[in-house]
Structure 1
Amino acid sequence: MPVIAATTLASFLRDRRVRLDPATFGLSGRRRTPGLRREEVAQRANISPTWYTWLEQGRGGAPSADVLNRIARAMLMTEAEREHMFMLGLGRPPEAKYTTIDGISPRLQRFIDRLDTCPAIVKTATWEVVAWNRAATVVLSDYGRLPPGQRNMLRFLFTSPDVRAKQHDWETIARFSVAAFRADAARAGAVSQVQHLVEELSEVSAEFRRIWSENQISVPGEGAKRLLHPVLGAIDLEYSAFAVDGRVDLNLMVYTPVDPEVAKQIRKLAGDE
């Protein structure tokens, strides 16, 4: 039985380089071998051709994170490819760098729209809601009536009387939410991006200021909560959280009614919208 060697940084770089189309980089002319030449990758990455050659030969020791990031840009790697390269070269993923997200793909929107009895939202690492379905509109909040930038779940929890009134145990929910928010922001490299929101909520809510100062961390995956809905009454929901396309900065939350009768009522309310 043949032995399949584990992928190394050297073999990954070689394989990735020969798969690149020179025309993509404005390079023309006949070539004896496919892909870019080593010196072309080195030039694009602004590193020594000798050093890059050594990397493909498995020589020279571990590269720095800066060098790997330059190579990733030079080869137009996807985020998944860059992360894999870091794991091979340094034994760890690259440092998280948060980017602003304004929306989701039509494919994902169609998926959550099909969940007609289950409120579903997609939120960023800074807890901005960027997508929702009709069930979420009637059970959670009508996000569509708010302008972009004003759909933050943590701000709702501490500043909206309507959202607060829906919580069966507001204090527990608030403490859990702050701990999860802190973890989400840190994991996605968005600590600096949430600073303004933290300062804002600290100014307007003594309760937020108190809970935030406790420095608690929580990473939710699934659980249960009870809402006091103005039309449906007290309803029990189970929730599950999913990373979208493997990204730590985009999260799908799906709330499933425990009672089938409540599910029917949600479908009816959402259909009457």
Structure 2
Amino acid sequence: MASTTEPPEPSSGAPLDRRAELSEFLRTRRARLKPEDVGLPDFGRHRRVPGLRREELAQLAGVSVAYYTRLEQGNGRNVSAEVLDSIARALRLTDAEHAHLTHLAKPKHKKKQTARPQQVRASLRQLLATMDGVPAYIVGRRAEILAWNPMAAALFGDWAQLPAAERNWARLVFLNPDYRDLFVDWEQKAIDIVCALRMDAGCYPDDPRLSALVGELSVKSEDFRRLWATHDVKEKSHGVKHLRHPLVGALSLNFEGFRLLGDGEQTMVTYHAEPGSASAEALRLLASWGTDATRAGAGSPSPSA
């Protein structure tokens, strides 16, 4: 089992523009709705752009068009929680999207928290080490992989061989072709990561490491630019991942994510297979091979990822 030390503070990485983020988030949420989706009549008028008009959204939210227009232009100053709730209902926002809107419009100053190194408690590292046969890791802000057990290394690659800055799900998925091969539904994995980074950006727009990461991925990955432009946010705490492992072949694994009490910015993620399944046998084989499987390159990313 291993854990990371955060990389040095980046020399560059301008803060994300919170006003622009708020503007684009509201615009993209409005664009995905049609009048019939929200009970408004559609008289067949030609719409130059998709989605509801600002005046329609303002009507649904019970605010003036001028007020909503200012908000969509990024001016969230003095907006009340009640108004944000009304706009969230009008836009049919999910709980995660509602929280993201609130963070963008009414930010809390978290610069000290952003600058604080992410550390995994010793007891959690010990817990990971005791989870025999269960791939598990802890992920923090910016999709950084903070700690993991040997089974996670056998399943996803020997992250200990990477520099601390490269132990990051976003960099691995978007910049390393091995992970495109590993995840059967690579697109969904990529979407999940971008949605999580968007949530982080709403909470910590002044985080230089996050800004540098987004800038790097935007330059190096067309897929990242495409998904980042959607402004989608969501939290995914459980599901099924289908993998193509280079040593044991196809795997279908259930995953669970647990927010850690005492440090809600960290999540423990575990993977398990249905008892008696071929995937369970494949995990058993990986466990029996132990570190030999890791050295053999089980999903192993290259240091240049």
TM-score, normalising length: structure 2: 0.55
1:252 aligns with 2:268: yes
SS of aligned partner of 1:242: strand
The superposition leaves residues 225-245 of structure 1 with CA deviations (integer Å, 9 ceiling, x where unpaired) of: 101100110101111111223
Q: In the aligned structure 2, how far is the partner of 1:207 from the partner of 1:166?
A: 17
Aligned counterpart in structure 1 of residue 140 of structure 2, from 124, 127, 147: 124
Determine if contact 2:169/2:193 at 8 Å carries over to the other structure.
no
The alignment partner of 1:149 has SS state of helix
Please say if residues 240 and 253 of structure 1, whose CA atoms lie closer than 8 Å, have aligned partners that are also in contact.
Answer: yes
Match among 91, 94, 103 for residue 119 of structure 2: 103
In structure 2, what is the Cα distance between the partners aligned to 1:147 and 1:193? 15
The aligned counterpart of 2:256 is: 240
Residue 185 of structure 1 deviates from its aligned partner by 4.4
Are 2:195 and 2:234, in contact at CA under 8 Å, matched by a contact in 1? yes
Equivalent residues of 1:228, 1:235 under 8 A apart: yes
Cα offsets for 1:1-42 (capped at 9, x unmatched): xxxxxxxxxxxxxxxxxxxxxxxxxxxxxxxxxxxxxxxxxx
Cα RMSD for the two superposed structures: 2.3
- Counterpart CA distance in 2 for 1:100 and 1:151 is 18
Check the 8 A contact 1:127/1:181 in 2, yes or no: yes
Q: Which residue of 2 aligns with 1:263?
A: 283
- Structure 1 gap ranges (5+): 1-93
Query: CA deviation digits over 1:35-70, x for unaligned, max 9?
Result: xxxxxxxxxxxxxxxxxxxxxxxxxxxxxxxxxxxx
Select 1:170's aligned residue among 186, 194, 199. 186
Structure 2's unaligned 5+ residue stretches are 1-107, 295-305
Q: Give the structure 1 partner of residue 32 of structure 2.
A: none
Aligned to 1:9: none
Q: Which amino acid aligns with 1:231?
A: L
Q: Indicate the residue corresponding to 2:237 in structure 1.
A: 221
5 Å-filtered alignment, 1:69-218, equals 96=110, 97-187=113-203, 191-218=207-234
Q: By how many angstroms is 1:212 displaced?
A: 0.3
Between the two structures, name the one with larger relative contact order (CA 8 Å, sep ≥ 6).
2
Q: Compute the displacement of 1:184 (Å).
A: 3.9
CA contact (8 A) 2:154 2:291 kept: no
Using the alignment, how far apart are the partners of 1:116 and 1:171 within structure 2? 30
Q: Is the 8 A contact 2:166 2:172 kept in 1?
A: no
Instruction: Indicate the SS of the match to 1:116.
Output: coil
Partner letter of residue 232 of structure 1?
Answer: V
